[in-house]
Structure 1
Amino acid sequence: MRFSSDWLWYARRWTIESWHRVLKSGCRIEARQFGSLERFVRATALFAVISWRILYATLLARNNTDLSCEVLLQPVEWQALYCHTHNTKHPPKQSPTLQQAVLWIAMLGGYLNRKGDRPPGPTVIWRGFLILHEITKMYHLLRQNE
């Protein structure tokens, strides 16, 4: 029984390693100067959630291909993503699947989506989310005047 329990934890090792990589490389937590322990703790809590969201998007899109992207994205986010990706002003009434939305986000982050490419990983999804954040802000500003 001990072997089984140890094996389950070891099988999760790569997921945990990916989360740490996003936290360290994507959020650049080690390069930041917080000035105090209180600031460090608050920032680490925020970055831990951001890292979790990136990893969650990566894994969920691979395993649950038919889920709506609204399990992860706010309506304004997926609408901005759709309009940007398809070069249109009018998003569809139906939200795209999570798998499709994560692919578009990864492509914003530099994923090439070639036939032989592996599914997008946390690094390109992280970069894509940064760009999506800016696209969403602009989309929201432009929609306010309509």
Structure 2
Amino acid sequence: MPEFIADHTESLATLAKQKIAEFNALHWDASLRQPLGLKKLNDAGEVIAVLTGRTFGNWFYLESFWLDKQYRGQGLGKAMLVEAEQIAKQRGCRYVLLDTLNFQAKPFYQQLGYQITWTQLDYPFDGGAKYFMQKTL
């Protein structure tokens, strides 16, 4: 039976990502992957909204989207997401993919045309759920 060495370090995780990237480079040009980010500042210069992700080929992967609680429900989040979708579309993307937890923004995304494609139940614990959602641009 082979013996394995436990290594829970960030450097090992980085090495794994590097090795996968090297393999993937044989099949596609990862340099075509572009970051996409938007932020909104208040009058004091503080960040009140931030959206980040990346575009690659036909897809925009929306990785993180946060809006300060006091600015929710005023159309700012919708406007920011629509702008990000437009940037993705200009880059040639046809689809958006994101995930959201049961206590986060599923209804918000559904109102904007996102559909649940898969649900990871009991994530991260019993009773929780992670929703993988997508939208055609």
Q: TM-score under structure 1 normalisation?
A: 0.27
More helix per residue: 1
Select the structure with the greater relative contact order (CA < 8 A; seq sep ≥ 6).
1
More strand per residue: 2
Q: TM-score under structure 2 normalisation?
A: 0.29
